[in-house]
Each structure stands twice: as structure tokens, then as C-alpha cells.
Amino acid sequence: MDDSGAILCQISSLKDMLDQVNEEIEANIRITREIESEIVKCTEFEAALAARESDLTKTFYFSQFEINGLLSVACNSFYYFFYLFCFNFIYLYVFQKMRR
């Protein structure tokens, strides 16, 4: 009987150790799931940021194109008005010289 009692005691001790290992495994599984969940959230957030960056880059290039066009029109207008000013100035200067 002593042998069977010792064996039962060892089995009980091994069962307790096995239960403790199972609890640690379950805790690690929970932590792993939480980490995986955070990774998924980060991946989704990263994808959203990449889409936002793409939209902002597209908007930036469209804005640059529009600004360049406006600057081109403004420069052409400036040169046109400068040409008219010079032409009128020369015309008036020559016209006044001819009148004298």
C-alpha cells in the first residue's frame, strides 16, 4: 500500500505541475493573440497612412502643376504688360519728339 500511496502522490504532483504548465501555455497563447491583434491593427493603420500619403502626394503634384501654370500665366501677363508699357513709352517718346 505504501508504494501505491507514493505513486498516487507522485501522480498528483505531476498533475499539478502539468496544470501549471498548461496555465502558462494558455497565458502565452493569450499574450500571443493580443500581440497578433496589435500587429493587425498596426498593419491596418499603416495601410491607411499609406493611402493618405498617396492622396496627399497626388494633391501636392496637382497643386504644383496648377501653381506652375499660374506662374506661367502670370509671367506671360507680366511680359505682355511690360511689352505694352515699353511700346507705349517709346511710341509716346517718339511721337513727342516728332511734334517738336
pLDDT, position 59:
92
Confidence at residue 99, expressed as pLDDT on a 0 to 100 scale:
65
- 65-94 exposure pattern, b = at least 16 Cβ within 10 A, e = fewer: eeeeeeeeeeeeeeeeeeeeeeeeeeeeee
Q: What pLDDT is recorded for position 5?
A: 84
Find the farthest-apart pair of alpha carbons in the chain and give their distance in angstroms, rounded.
145
Mean pLDDT by runs of 10 across the 100 residues of the chain is: 83 95 98 98 97 94 86 78 75 67
Q: Which residue matches cell numbers 499539478?
A: 16
pLDDT score, position 47: 97
Q: DSSP character for 1?
A: -
In angstroms, the CA 25 to CA 10 distance is 22
Which alpha helices (H) appear in the chain, and where do they start and end? 2-99
Task: State how far the alpha carbon of 48 is from the alpha carbons of 14, 40, 45, 82, in Å.
Answer: 51, 12, 5, 50
Q: How confident is the model at residue 83, as a pLDDT?
A: 75
